[in-house]
Amino acid sequence: MNKRTLTSGRALSIASALLGLSLSPAQADPLSDFYTGKKVQVMIGFGSGEAYDTYARILARHMPNYLPGKPLFVPQNMPGAGSLNAANAIYNLAPKDGTAFGTTHRFVPLMPLLDVQGPKFDPLKYTYLGSMNRENTICIAWRGTGIETIDDAKTKEFTVGTTGAGAELTTFNATLKRLLGLKLKIVSGYNTSLEVNLAIERGEVQGRCGVSYGTLKNTEPDWLKNRKVSILLQLGLSKDPELPDVPLFGDLVTNEQDRQALQLMLAPAEIGRPFFGPPGIPEDRVKALRAAFDAAVKDPDLIAEAKKQTLDVNPVSGADMEALIARAYKAPQAVVNRARELVNSGNGPN
């Protein structure tokens, strides 16, 4: 080997090493490396076929396209206790590495603030990814039961079904009794909303409060098309444009402190279909999950699929969700105290 060949060989080796060093940082993608081949669990606090479940499964089909490594999303239903079972599991049992998140009823994050029994989590520590829609809930009564308006429920016994423990902030039954004097008879213990709907059709109960209007359009379109139910009341901060003649709960309450308490309790209507993970997810994965969520809910294919299911998509970012929950927990103590009284006492009007 002559001197020129040796020098050329060394130069080539050095150039190759430098080229390797220059390419490695550009080629390295820790997020893609982490998620490639992984499964991401999507924990759903509702039964199969419910609107929250449908939203979650649509998201699970599209969100992986926007997450580095394109992991497989695996939906898992965890119904019960007003979706508290799933909320507690997300916080306490889910891995904190970005491979699990879920969805629960929108009111779940307020439950600890309002002393509702059952939460085993700090809602300020959840990792909020975003919401797929804003949503009003409503009270409905089956036609022919004699309950046609909210005033009817003040003079006639109105039997309503619920999913039991943890459901007050999804039904507002106690609050409705307290503030409006409704003569509600509550039948609890149904496992899913669809079971409550079946009970209505069978005549076991006369109706329900706290069902999302969007859910009713998705799961029971025949009820609306054929006027099988009367919509008595809206539970939200503003009227749904499709229900201009249905009274808003807050408009029927004249006491200012009670109105402020209701505004606090109903604030989660702005995060109607929330998705969040456990605390402690690494920051780079939080950013990636939020970015993937934001991109997925704007995907024309996702929007078209949701439309076929008669589901509206009106997203809220994870950062905005986090800020809304944080504001709720900074509410004046007098307002919080009144809201606690309304939630936790169903013994009748003041």
Query: Would you say the C-alpha torsion 289, 62, 95, 129 has a positive or negative sign?
Result: positive
> For position 21, what pLDDT does the model report?
46
Q: Look up the CATH number of the domain holding residue 42.
A: 3.40.190.150
What stretches of the chain adopt beta strand conformation (E)? 39-44, 72-77, 100-103, 127-131, 137-142, 158-161, 184-187, 207-212, 229-235, 274-277, 316-317
Q: Does the structure show a pLDDT above 80 at 170?
A: no
Distance CA 207, CA 141 (A): 4
Residues 113 and 173 in one domain: no
Indicate whether 42 pLDDT > 80: yes
CA angle (93 as vertex; 89, 98 as ends), nearest 5: 100
Q: Are 99 and 206 within one domain?
A: no
Given 211, 242, 268, the domain boundary residue is 268
* Domain co-membership, 170 together with 291: no
Please indicate, yes or no, whether residues 56 and 112 belong to a single structural domain of this protein. yes
Query: 264: closest CA among 49, 146, 109, 101?
Result: 109
In a domain, 18, yes or no: no
Both 215 and 99 in one domain: the answer is no
Q: In this model, does residue 350 exceed pLDDT 70?
A: no
Task: Confirm whether 251 is domain-assigned.
Answer: yes
Task: Evaluate if residue 165 carries a pLDDT over 90.
Answer: no
* Residue 215 located in a structural domain: yes
pLDDT digits (tens, 9 = 90+) for 110-129: 999 998 888 999 999 999 99
Give residue 347's pLDDT. Answer: 39
Q: Residue 194: what pLDDT?
A: 87
Specify if 4 maps to a domain: no
Residue with tokens 């699929």: 305
Residue 309 within a domain: yes
Residues 146 and 264 in one domain: yes
Do 143 and 264 lie in a common domain? yes
In a domain, 229, yes or no: yes
The residues pairing with 211 across neighbouring beta strands, listed in sequence order, are 138
- What pLDDT score was predicted for residue 24? 46
More confident residue, 194 or 95: 95
pLDDT digits (tens, 9 = 90+) for 271-323: 889 999 999 999 999 999 999 999 999 999 999 999 999 899 999 999 999 99
Same domain? For 251 and 142 the reply is yes
pLDDT at 255 over 70: yes
Give the range of the structural domain holding residue 276, as residue numbers without chain letter: 32-134+271-337
The average pLDDT across 223-251 equals: 93
pLDDT at residue 10 is higher than 60: no
Terminal-residue alpha carbon distance, the chain = 102
Whole-angstrom distance, CA of residue 119 vs CA of residue 155: 35
Least confidently predicted of 81-85, 109-113, 173-177, 330-334: 81-85
Quote the number of domains for the chain: 2
- 296/5 Cα distance (integer angstroms): 56
Q: Which of 268, 299, 329 lies at the terminal end of a domain, its last residue?
A: 268
| Mean pLDDT across 322-342 | 94
Phi, psi (degrees; rounded to nearest 5) at 183:
-95, 70
In a domain, 315, yes or no: yes
Please state which of the ranges 2-16, 23-37, 116-130, 261-275 shows the lowest mean pLDDT: 2-16
Bigger pLDDT: 11 vs 53: 53
65 and 169 in a single domain? The answer is no
Residue 348 domain-assigned (yes or no): no
Supply the pLDDT for residue 22. 46
126 and 242, same structural domain?
no
Q: What is the CATH number of the domain that holds 156?
A: 3.40.190.10
Specify the pLDDT at position 27.
54
- % of residues, the chain, pLDDT over 70: 88
Residue 256: what pLDDT? 92
Q: Are residues 235 and 289 in the same domain?
A: no
Query: Which one, of 214, 231, 181, 182, lies nearest residue 309 by Cα?
Result: 214
Cα 275–41–108 angle (5° rounding)?
35
Statement: residue 25 has pLDDT above 60: no
pLDDT (0 to 100) of residue 168:
64
Q: Residue 12 has what pLDDT?
A: 47
Query: Are 165 and 247 part of one and the same domain?
Result: yes
In this structure, the strands spanning 127-131 and 274-277 are: antiparallel
- Confidence at residue 28, expressed as pLDDT on a 0 to 100 scale: 67
Q: Which residues contact 123 (CB under 8 A, 6 or more apart)?
A: 108, 109, 110, 111, 112, 113, 325, 329
Looking at 251, 268, 285, which one is the last position of a domain?
Answer: 268
